[in-house]
Amino acid sequence: MNTGSLRARVTFTTLALLTVVLAVVVTAVTLVYRARLDSDLDNRLSAAGALVERAGSAGQAKLLLAGLAREGIAARIGSRAPAKPAGSGVPTKTEPRTSRSTIRPLHGSLLSIHEVLSDGTPITLSASSASIGRSVTNLLLVELLVAAAALALAGLLVIQGTRTALRPLFAVIETATRIAHGDFDLRLEPSRTDTELGRLAAAFDQMVDALETAIEEARSSDAATRRFLADASHELRNPIAAVQASVETLLREQPERPERDRLEAAVARDSERLGRLVDDLLGLARLEAHLTRTVVDLGEIATPLVEDARARAAQAEITLNADDGVIVRGDPDALERVLRNLIDNALGAIQPTGRIDVGLHRIDGHLEATVRDDGPGVPEDQRRRIFERFVRLDPSKPGHGLGLAIARRIAQQHGGDLTCDDSASGACFSLRLPIEA
């Protein structure tokens, strides 16, 4: 990007164009003026020649010399031509003869015209064009002085004009500098957006808004990451400490059975809990990677999950009500994980003879998958909080509070959302996804 001075470039370009225009004008005026003076001189010589010719004789022509001199025209009268001898067959009477020569240069700046009077007297009229050269030189000098003054004045006006015209750019620079120093609320707020500067200011404000949004998202993400790391460390610390204590007891004391069996069972239980937590953490981390996108029939995913739930809770009433062709585009494994998590949570919430209703319906261009149960439900003030990481409404139940956070993140990555809705009894979770045409 060329970062030279915009004011200097505008000034130089303007003065260069003005210089070219003035040079053309000065040249044209000078040439026209010179041609006009030359034409006037030629006309005066021609008029003087015609006047002398009408005089007819040398005597009459001499009377005109003083007036011609005042006109700047010099006259030189030659000798009269000799008369023809008698008997030559040529009449002795003087015949009128007129002959006008064209104007031609004599020496240097002199122009002359030659005439022959009716009495045979030759006369030469001459005038100097030196005064024309002086007049043209004086005019050219005046024109150059006027052009130089015009260029100087134009330069001052261009500098002042560019300073005024570039004032909005200085406002952009000042605003950008203040924003860079932490004043993020500043905006240019252009009065018009249909001009070059207006579009620049609008684009600047949009850029600052986008940067501010990105900064807020980065701060939020950083805070969430810190909170996640703290929660993950806390959740990992407990099972790790339990496994470590049980193993140290086994190694140090070498207890006999049944104490040994109890410690070994505790190690296995805590190891399983630790494995599930690590698996959930890895699943949450994988959500930031690229998901596989393919055509998915949620009915084909939900059917085996419902059958598995019926096998696990034989006394419960579990139903599946699905429309035909509930097709979406997404990652089948990730979507299966969402439905599995919702059904597992419902199984954990109901009584052994409770009820779970799973529905897959097309509504207003979206697919809505709902999982309803008749358990204790979710308090209204906790319906948003349960989607946060490591949040558990009932700490006595197994789990680490990551399932719903992972499920909602999957839904958002598929262009949808997962919510906990109002329900007359129990809990109702709704997964909304765009339908694949």
Least confident of 3-17, 222-236, 321-335, 382-396: 222-236
The dihedral sign for the CA sequence 325, 326, 328, 333: negative
Topology of 178-286 in CATH?
Answer: Helix Hairpins (1.10.287)
CA distance 182 to 151: 45
The residue behind tokens 């001459």 is: 126
For the chain, what is the mean pLDDT?
80
pLDDT for the residue 417: 92
CA distance 53 to 82: 20
CA distance 228 to 215: 19
pLDDT tops 80 at residue 273: no
The residue behind tokens 């006037």 is: 40
> 332 preceded by cis ω (within 30°)?
no
- Element counts in the chain: helices (H) and strands (E): 10, 12
Radius of gyration of the chain (CA): 54
- Picking from 211, 209, 213, the residue whose alpha carbon sits closest to that of residue 187 is 209
pLDDT digits 0-9 by tens, 217-254: 788 777 767 766 776 676 677 678 878 888 888 888 88
CATH code of domain 294-434? 3.30.565.10
pLDDT for the residue 98: 39
Crossing angle (nearest 10°) for helices 6-55 and 130-165:
160
Dihedral, CA of residue 401, residue 406, residue 408 and residue 413, to nearest 10: 160
CA distance 73 to 52: 12
Please tell me which residue, 127 or 225, carries the higher pLDDT value. 127
Please tell me which residue, 24 or 232, carries the higher pLDDT value. 24
Domain boundaries, the chain: 6-82+91-161, 178-286, 294-434
Least confident of 61-65, 160-164, 222-226: 222-226
- CA geometry: angle 358, 362, 368, nearest 5 deg: 45
